[in-house]
């Protein structure tokens, strides 16, 4: 099983999804996290609460019964299910930290930054902070901590690329320079990781917190 389970009880599962594995695939016979978990649980209930893009790695929480799924989905809707991401980008933002608000529209399998009045535009809010200097190589790459106030399609990847900061390894939003650098570093997938998750346990009410380091951190 490619999916790594980091926490498990009778109500929830918290997993580390590797880059390149879909959360759930529509193709029969194609591996994905949900299929692996159902096999692991011998066909038991696996409730999807949130997803990660296929080329992105990170932490996901799944419910093991419908009551837990309903409780976790309420937390997600109310902004109580906290997530932090880290990304390795080509370039460096002008400020050490900041907040960006854009309007995104899904166009096929991509998101685009558009004007607010564009039909289908949805507001997207992203907050970032540059990580410690030792995480930055030769000034060409920057490691960012990221939190999002909205959950739009490809939001982080699109907003970063729009500001000239494409994520290394991102085949859809990268530039020729960022992709060439990715190849030289051996980064095959988007260097974006959902590295932290915080939630309230749906049965016990206690706070659950997990943090991981991305597989690409020591590139």
Q: How confident is the prediction for the chain on average, in pLDDT? A: 90
| Spatial separation of the C-alpha atoms in residues 179 and 167, rounded to whole Å | 9
Structure tokens at 19: 């880059």
Per-residue confidence band for 6, with pLDDT thresholds at 50, 70 and 90: very high
Please report, rounded to a whole number, the percentage of residues in the chain having pLDDT higher than 90: 74
Identify the active-site residue in 53, 102, 145, 170.
53
pLDDT digits (tens, 9 = 90+) for 125-175: 999 999 855 445 555 788 999 999 888 999 999 999 999 999 999 999 999
The pLDDT of residue 116 = 94
53 is catalytic: yes
Q: How far apart, in whole angstroms, are the C-alpha atoms of residue 125 and residue 148?
A: 6
Supply the pTM of this predicted model.
0.89
pLDDT score at 135: 46
**DSSP structural state of residue 22:** B
Q: What is the pLDDT of residues 51-77, one digit of tens each?
A: 999 999 999 999 999 999 999 999 998
Three-class HEC string of 84-136: EEEEEEECCCCCCEEEEEEEEEEECCEEEEECCCCCCCEEEEEEEEECCHHHC
What pLDDT is stored for residue 107 in this prediction? Answer: 93
**Selection from 93, 91, 112 nearest residue 175 by Cα:** 91
Q: Roughly how many angstroms between the first and final C-alpha of the chain, as a whole number? A: 24
Per-residue pLDDT of 176-190, as tens digits, reads: 999 998 998 889 899
């Amino acid at each position: 099983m490619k999916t790594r389970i980091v926490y498990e009880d009778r109500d929830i599962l918290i997993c580390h999804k590797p880059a390149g594995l879909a959360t759930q695939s529509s193709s029969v016979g194609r591996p994905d996290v949900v299929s692996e978990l159902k096999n692991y649980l011998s066909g038991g209930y696996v409730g999807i609460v949130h997803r990660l893009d296929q080329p992105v790695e990170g932490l996901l929480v799944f419910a093991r019964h419908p009551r837990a799924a309903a409780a976790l989905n309420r937390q997600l809707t109310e902004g109580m299910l906290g997530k932090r991401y880290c990304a390795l980008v080509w370039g460096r933002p002008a400020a050490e930290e900041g907040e960006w608000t854009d309007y995104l529209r899904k166009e096929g399998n991509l998101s685009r930054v558009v004007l607010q009045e564009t039909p289908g535009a949805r507001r997207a809010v992203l907050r970032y902070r540059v990580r410690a200097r030792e995480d930055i190589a030769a000034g060409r790459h920057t490691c960012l901590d990221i939190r999002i106030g909205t959950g739009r399609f490809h939001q982080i990847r699109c907003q970063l690329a729009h500001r000239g900061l494409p994520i290394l390894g991102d085949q859809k939003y990268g530039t020729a320079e960022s992709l060439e650098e990715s190849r030289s570093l051996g980064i095959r997938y988007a260097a974006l990781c959902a590295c932290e998750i915080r939630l309230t346990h749906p049965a016990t009410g206690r706070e659950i917190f997990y943090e991981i380091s991305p597989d690409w951190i020591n590139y």
